[in-house]
Amino acid sequence: MPKWYNSQVVDIVNLTPHTKSFWLRIEDPDMFDYKPGQFITLDLPIHEKRHKRWRSYSIANLPRENGVIELCIVSLEHGQATHYLFHELKIGDTIKFKGPDGGFILTDDMLDKELVMICTGTGVAPFRSMLLDLKSRNAFKKKVHLIFGTRRQEDILYQEDFSRLAIQEPHFTYTVTLSREVNWPGDKGYVHPIYLSQYHKITEDRLFLICGWSKMIDETVENLILKLGYDKSQVRYELYG
């Protein structure tokens, strides 16, 4: 049987016009621990049947951060869960959750490889947790490149965190590409041209980590394995929908 935990909402922060971070203080923090990249499943009061109440979200912050966890959630049109989270949930309310779950994590042997993290939208959440953890442990050994794609400049998530990290860590590179921003001075379009142009030359010590919606993941996996010729063991992903 899964173990369920109680938590209290201690903060709700607007990150973008359509995305918020929800900070939950765990009732028994010493009993709960997780690895960067894992997710939890919330039990929300949105349906009588339990499985229709459950929604899973990746944790976006460091483990053991003062007994709180941060969830980065985008509002979905006609979504029961996000309607409740965005329009009904208040600071002080309680939420029950289970977890942590998921194997989308960085193991010690992976730190000896060059890492290319590719994500769109809130798919950046597990990477933020991983990168903050690497920084806190001084564990940047090889090159790490975060490629983040979204529509507009107002939709960029955690830009200040990653820009600062790129200054502090010489092994870390941060690229943002926007698909619907005319006056953006940086990369424009989708994430695919960036990794296709920068990583077309195959090396065995490179690992691709991908997180986002299914369409982006499917195209990225196909490009890396079929078009560029990477071995499937060098491509790992976390599906969001």
The answer for residues whose C-beta is within 8 angstroms of residue 5's C-beta and 6 or more apart is 26, 27, 28, 31, 32, 96, 97, 98
* Residue 80 pLDDT greater than 90, yes or no: yes
Q: What is the pLDDT of residue 241?
A: 47
Lookup result for tokens 């030359």 = 201
Give the residue-averaged pLDDT of 9-32: 95
Please, what is the Cα angle at 92 between 11 and 97, to 5 degrees? 85
- Single out the residue of 181, 179, 205 nearest to residue 190, CA to CA: 179
Q: Which two tokens stand for residue 193?
A: 């041209």
Q: What is the pLDDT of residues 121-162, one digit of tens each?
A: 999 999 999 999 999 999 999 999 999 999 999 999 999 999
- Please tell me the distance from the alpha carbon of residue 213 to that of residue 232, in angstroms, as a whole number: 19
Q: What is the pLDDT of residues 57-74, one digit of tens each?
A: 999 999 888 899 999 999
- Please tell me the distance from the alpha carbon of residue 217 to that of residue 200, in angstroms, as a whole number: 18
Cis omega (within 30 of 0) for bond into 63: no
The dihedral sign for the CA sequence 72, 77, 81, 85 = positive
Domains of the chain as residue ranges with CATH: 4-101 (2.40.30.10), 108-239 (3.40.50.80)
- Please tell me the distance from the alpha carbon of residue 130 to that of residue 96, in angstroms, as a whole number: 24
Estimate the crossing angle of helix 159-168 against helix 125-136, to 10 degrees: 30
What pTM, to 2 d.p., does this model score?
A: 0.96
Rounded to whole angstroms, what are the CA distances from 173 to 131, 137, 156, 176, 224? Answer: 11, 18, 16, 10, 20
Q: Give the CA count within 13 Å in the CB-facing half-sphere of 216.
A: 26
Q: Concatenated DSSP letters for 155-167?
A: G--SHHHHHHHHH
- Single out the residue of 61, 60, 6 nearest to residue 28, CA to CA: 6
Q: What is the pLDDT of residues 104-123, one digit of tens each?
A: 999 999 999 999 999 999 99
Q: What is the pLDDT of residue 66?
A: 85
Proportion of the chain above pLDDT 70, given as a percent: 100
* Residue 1 pLDDT greater than 80, yes or no: no
Q: What is the pLDDT of residues 177-234, one digit of tens each?
A: 999 998 899 999 999 999 999 999 999 999 999 999 999 999 999 999 999 999 999 9
- Please tell me the distance from the alpha carbon of residue 46 to that of residue 51, in angstroms, as a whole number: 10
State in Å, rounded, how far the first CA of the chain is from the last one: 25
* Residue 32 pLDDT greater than 50, yes or no: yes
Q: What are the contacts of 182-191 at 24+ separation with CB within 8 A?
A: 184/153, 190/149, 190/216, 191/118, 191/119, 191/120, 191/147, 191/148, 191/149, 191/216, 191/220
Instruction: For the chain, give the mean pLDDT.
Output: 95
Phi-psi region of 2 (alpha: psi -120 to 50; beta: other; left: phi over 0): beta
pLDDT band at residue 77 using 50, 70 and 90 as cut-offs = confident
* Residue 34 pLDDT greater than 80, yes or no: yes
Q: What is the pLDDT of residues 48-57, one digit of tens each?
A: 998 899 999 9
